[in-house]
Amino acid sequence: PWTDVWGRRHETMVGRPVAFHAMRGISAHSNGFHSCRALHLLQMLLGAVDTPGSWRYKSPFPRPIPPGPGPAGKGAKPNTPLAGNILSFPQGPDDLLVDDDGNPLRIDKAFSWDAPLALHGMMHTVIGNAGIGDPYKIDTLFMFMANMAWNSAMNPGEVIRILTEQQPDGEYTIPHVIYSDAYYSETVPYADLILPDTTYLERWDCISILDRPIGSAHGAGDAIRQPVLKPDRDVRPFQDVLIDLGSRLGLPAFTRPDGTPRWKDYPDYIVNHERMPGVGPLAGFRGADGTKKGVGEPNQDQLQRYIDNGCFWRDHLPPEQSYFKHSNKDYLEQSKAMGLMGKSDQIVMQIWSEPLQKFRLAAEGHGAKQPPDRLRERVRTYCDPLPIWYAPLEHTGQDLGEFDLSAITQRPMAMYHSWGSMNAWLKQILGSNKLYMARARGAALGIDQDDWVWVESRAGRLKCQVALMEGVNPDTVWTWNAIGKRSGAWNLDPDSTESTKGFLLNHVISEWLPAQEGFRQANADPVTGQAAWYDLRVKVSKCAPGEAGITSPHPDTLALPPHMPSRPDILRYSTKAKP
């Protein structure tokens, strides 16, 4: 039995045996936002939302609409912290971060007429925009483990060109680059200042409900990582460095009224920071005695309680709160009590999106804030309050008959951010990647297993090996991302398989849509700004004799920095060895 928000008791929970899931694959298209909306609208029409047998909310979701104030950034001043959330939900033109002429205030153009609902930011456009000074030039680029000169860039060759480009006076286009990484990645050589980070095994981490929650349909949950090794070199956890920088800069959130640092280090921050009274990074073991959940005063023994519990905390919903969370009285009241939402009112699902309609009306000439003329039709078309479908933007003007294959790249779980290459056993399992193609398609093209091929797109071409398989659409090819490395990077042997046989599909992806008049539009969803990695179209042809043997592009080998530990030719481990 359960009780709805109107106080009516229901003896049963009626199910809808229809469940489907839309995530990053769909959103990585320039029509991804509306495609996802169409799927979710179908779920609503079927009543297949958080019922037995259907798709279910994972705590701390669902959350109410609208969720709060718009993104911060208006009136930003030098040496002054932003007042508010950097990432938030615009409710209309008044919330956009644009100047009086409608031009973006952020270097990535997020929350502008270019991408009104860019809730995740548009990191993939930052270096490209800075390179041409659109909307303005920057003095310093500060990045953390975003390997933007390689596998995190939509097109690494273009990013490297911008990072090394010099002006007529000899100054770099981007004068200063600060970068933090735990390894000698492909981006490190382009930094002016390097802040060496620790690995996951050497620092504290917080997997928070406030960031990327790991809760399930059965209840909220979060976790920590604890250091299991002491660093044997001169490094500091990057979280500690950020806290130190914040206090040295005198940022109010990081300093006390007398100017002294508010936080000693990241563990101190995890335990004692409160984004609102009683709500901190970790939801478990709160309160002076550790008995509270969600909301409670800081508990100085909290991290030890997590360690004692296997570094995890999980809340278990009672059966009557398991379903219909958007209109389940007990669940909503409990969620409010835990600080997961501000009110316990019913969460209304919106078929018609009023914020999108406000953007469209502005494009049609209504209101004081309207998009620039060059973006007016774009906003009017894509900010539709109901789901629509349109062909991917990159396909416009392309000869899809010539580029007859869709190509996608995804990161393997074992090496999600490249760092798995530091694990010897993973390197042996996946030391290089290939282009996976349907066996029938390979036969039609005269391509056999392990043949070397050229992969060409409108943006460039690359050379790699093919692996034939049955379980892939014959009109699609795919590969792993982050396996291919630049020669000399990561302290790997310059002739390692990662650099001689591994490759990046990114080399043939473009950051920008096909040629446009007077300005460049990102190769991204026009509503959310999500990078359209999956819109890539290619053609594949077998290499000529003599072309096989090594991947292309194959940039020059990176020189190792001074004091880099020598790499062993063979890694040897023994449980019997003495220290």
Q: Is the pLDDT of residue 156 over 70?
A: yes
Is 511:487 a contact under the CB 8 Å cutoff? no
Strands 435-438 and 537-542, bridge-based pairing: unpaired
**Percent of the chain residues past pLDDT 90, beyond the cut:** 80
CA distance 579 to 560: 28
Q: What is the pLDDT of residue 530?
A: 95
Residue-by-residue DSSP string for 151-188: TTSSSHHHHHHHHH-B-TTS-BSS-EEEEEESS--TTG
Assigned domain for 421 exists? yes
Residue 85 pLDDT grade (very low, low, confident, very high; cuts 50, 70, 90): confident
CA distance 480 to 420: 13
CATH number of the domain bearing residue 535? 2.40.40.20
Confirm whether 576 is domain-assigned. no
pLDDT in tens, 290-345: 999 999 999 999 999 999 999 999 999 999 999 999 999 999 999 999 999 989 99
| Residue 422: per-residue pLDDT | 66
pLDDT of residue 517: 60
Residue 78 binned pLDDT confidence (cut-offs 50, 70, 90): confident
Give 97's pLDDT tier (boundaries 50, 70, 90).
Answer: very high
pLDDT, tens only, 176-188: 999 999 999 999 9
Distance CA 169, CA 466 (A): 46
Residue with tokens 């539709």: 384
Please report the pLDDT score of residue 564 as a whole number. Answer: 87
For residue 417, is pLDDT > 80?
no
d(CA 381, CA 388) in angstroms, rounded, equals 9
Per-residue pLDDT at 520: 82
- Grade residue 568 by pLDDT with cuts at 50, 70 and 90: confident
Total of domains in the chain: 1
The verdict on residue 530 lying in a domain is: yes
End-to-end CA distance of the chain: 61
In this structure, what is the dihedral angle of CA atoms 370, 374, 380, 381, given to the nearest 10 degrees? -160
Rounded Cα distance, 418 and 386, in Å: 39
pLDDT at residue 190 tops 90: yes
Please compute the mean of the pLDDT values over residues 537-552 and round it to a whole number: 96
Q: Is residue 425 part of a domain?
A: yes
Lowest-confidence segment of 88-92, 290-294, 308-312, 462-466 by average pLDDT: 88-92
pLDDT of 579 strictly over 60:
no
Question: C-alpha angle with apex 463: 443 to 127, nearest 5 degrees?
Answer: 130
- By the 8 A CB rule, do 111 and 102 touch? no
| Residue 450 structural domain | 399-542
Band (24; pLDDT cuts 50, 70, 90): confident
Average pLDDT over residues 426-432: 83
Higher pLDDT, 104 or 70: 104
Check whether 425 has a pLDDT greater than 80: no
Q: Does 529 reside within a domain? A: yes
Tally of residues, the chain: 579
Between 47-56, 410-419, 480-489, the lowest mean confidence (pLDDT) is in 410-419
pLDDT of 66 over the 80 cut: no
Query: Where is pLDDT greater, at 76 or 455?
Result: 455
Give the separation between CA 76 and CA 341, rounded to whole angstroms: 28
Q: What is the pLDDT of residues 343-402, one digit of tens each?
A: 999 999 999 999 999 999 999 999 999 999 999 999 999 999 999 999 999 998 789 999
d(CA 81, CA 387): 37
Q: State both tokens at 558.
A: 């990176």
Mean pLDDT of 189-203: 93
Q: What is the mean pLDDT of the chain?
A: 92
- pLDDT the model gives residue 421: 57
> Does residue 128 have a pLDDT over 90?
yes
Query: How far, in Å, CA of 224 to CA of 206, rounded?
Result: 5
Whether residue 234 is contained in a domain is answered as: no
In a domain, 223, yes or no: no
Q: Check whether 243 has a pLDDT greater than 80.
A: yes
pLDDT, average across residues 549-578: 85
- State the average pLDDT over residues 453-478: 97
Backbone angles phi, psi at 193, to 5 degrees: -135, 125
Could you tell me if residue 503 is inside a domain? yes
Quick one: pLDDT at residue 570? 80
pLDDT class of 412 with cuts at 50, 70, 90: confident
Residue type, 532: A
